[in-house]
Amino acid sequence: MHVNMDGQGPLHAQLTRALKAAMFAGRLGEGGRLPATRQLARELGLSRNTVLAAYEQLRAEGFVRGQVGSGSFVTPPVKPEALPSPAQVEHPPQSAFARRGRRFHDHATMPGRATPGMRYAFSYGVPYTNPALTTAWARELGRAAAYTPPNYPMTQGLPALREAVCDYLARRRGVRAAPADVLIVAGTQQAMALTARVLLDVGESAVLEEPHYTAMREVLQIHGAQVEAVEVDAHGLRLDRLPAAPPKLVCVTPSHQFPSGVVMSLERRLELLAYASRHDCWIFEDDYDGEFRYDAQPLAALRSLDRDGRVVYVGTFSKALFPSLRLGYLVMPPGLQRDYLNAKWQDDFGSSAIEQAALANFMADGGFERHLRRAGRALLERRGALLAALSRELGDALHVADSRAGMHLVAWLRRADPEQGNALILAAREKGLDLYSIAPYYQRPPPQAGLLMGFASMSVAEIEQAVQVFATCMRERGLA
């Protein structure tokens, strides 16, 4: 009898696999008798115990029946065919959720995605990190692993982390929240998904800013929301342009509009809150990079002005630390805490406890604030270098919509329409420079070409070199 042993793992396991393969291949027919254990052991040069263990395993799995001594028979239902391999056909979507996922989540044009092999990239979403942070974080993780209990974490998040977040919010964002109001989430993405589930039924309407964070639109659309993007002016979302039928949810980035950089004025904030109370709608306040400001403290959040419990306030550690961490927080409206906790529970029970404990300690120890100060200084310098280089090299060929906050700015190409802008991006890639159009961040793309320019992940020298390449491309294409 021929059996193919694959040399991986214990001999009895190899033999079990080989015998199964022989059955599936039809070399051990239906109802067929397996060789006696002594005989097979001799044939294969194995100990009898090895063969006995393999037969026992086949018996336990139901592949053979019979008792030791009276012979082992292949169980009838196993048809002598080839080893199965699942069919490779793509199925139609099996749920409305899956159908909307295929329709609305556009892998191909996920904005901000870096092109591989580029020498320079003005990418947005990779924050400032440095070896000190890496070292500190490795140390915190190692420490937290030593004392974090192994059991299921609290769904709402570790109390120590929620306390540290409240302290941070009070000091740096003017948000007064109690640990009981805070839900630890797997980044802003989970905060959005939970909010869509808790607040929206299929067909209900949600308003986004125009331009806006594309993933927010896709998450809402995947949940079946009717999404409308409403223009932003110099004071923030234009409430006078809201649809006649009030939406159920309004998603805003008041402290630093994404991606335009506008700060929502106090008047507009109070108007929006009054609108939400009047029309029984909800506000998603995405404070994604309020840590980094270059003129004054972070502005007071909508949540801190909210008397009616209408604001879902969301912050993330993706910008303040790094996005591979997947941790953020959500300040729940008092009237919906139970629903948010249920939604988080059904999603994943709760976020990873060791990372939460490490972060709580990093915040309580002051390491987090030290990193923020260091990052803030570096970002200030990099932003200054980018602004100076753009002004020096390209002057009035660009209109830079500076924002005094965050990790990116928006540069409009005065002499380029969108098509010329796209041609420029392709030409820059030829020279090893990755540029990012602002168009995907619009529901109705603007008539002018614009770029979203992240400056957090390049050094000052790299920024200056990258701007040189950028300027060369602009000149070659007659845009500067």
364 binds a copy of itself (CB under 8 A): no
In the shown chain, the binding pattern of residues 233 to 272 toward a copy of itself, with x for contact by CB under 8 A and - for none, equals ---------------x--------------x-xxx-xxx-
Please identify which residue in 257, 351, 361, 403 interacts with a copy of itself, judged by CB under 8 A: 351
Nearer to a copy of itself (CB atom), residue 209 or residue 355: 355
Q: What tokens were used for 252? A: 């805003």
In the shown chain, the binding pattern of residues 297 to 326 toward a copy of itself, with x for contact by CB under 8 A and - for none, equals x-xx---xxxxxxxx------x---xxxxx
Among 41-49, 122-130, 371-379, 415-423, the segment contacting a copy of itself (CB under 8 A): 122-130
86 binds a copy of itself (CB under 8 A): yes
Nearest approach, Cβ of residue 337 and a copy of itself (Å): 8
Please identify which residue in 23, 40, 41, 141 interacts with a copy of itself, judged by CB under 8 A: 141
Yes or no: say if 410 and 450 are a contact pair by the CB < 8 Å rule.
Answer: yes
Q: What tokens were used for 412? A: 């409009």
By CB under 8 A, the count of residues binding a copy of itself is: 119
Report DSSP letters for 53-65, one per residue: HHHHHHHHTTSEE
Sign of the torsion angle spanned by Cα atoms 172, 177, 179, 182: negative
Please identify which residue in 261, 333, 421, 454 interacts with a copy of itself, judged by CB under 8 A: 333
Say which amino acid occupies 432: G
150 binds a copy of itself (CB under 8 A): yes
Please identify which residue in 139, 241, 279, 414 interacts with a copy of itself, judged by CB under 8 A: 139
Which residues within the stretch 161-220 sit at the binding site for a copy of itself (CB under 8 A)? 170-171, 174, 176, 186-187, 189-190, 193, 197-201, 204, 218-219
Which residues within the stretch 50-69 sit at the binding site for a copy of itself (CB under 8 A)? 53, 56-57, 60-63
Nearer to a copy of itself (CB atom), residue 62 or residue 71: 62
CA separation (Å) from 46 to 7, 11, 37? 13, 8, 10
Burial 84-100 (b: 16+ CB within 10 A, else e): eeeeeeeeeeeeeeeeb
* 3-state DSSP percent of the chain in helix, strand and coil, to 5: 45, 15, 40
Yes or no: say if 456 and 448 are a contact pair by the CB < 8 Å rule.
Answer: no
What angle is formed at CA 318 by the lines to CA 434 and CA 166, rounded to 5 degrees?
A: 155
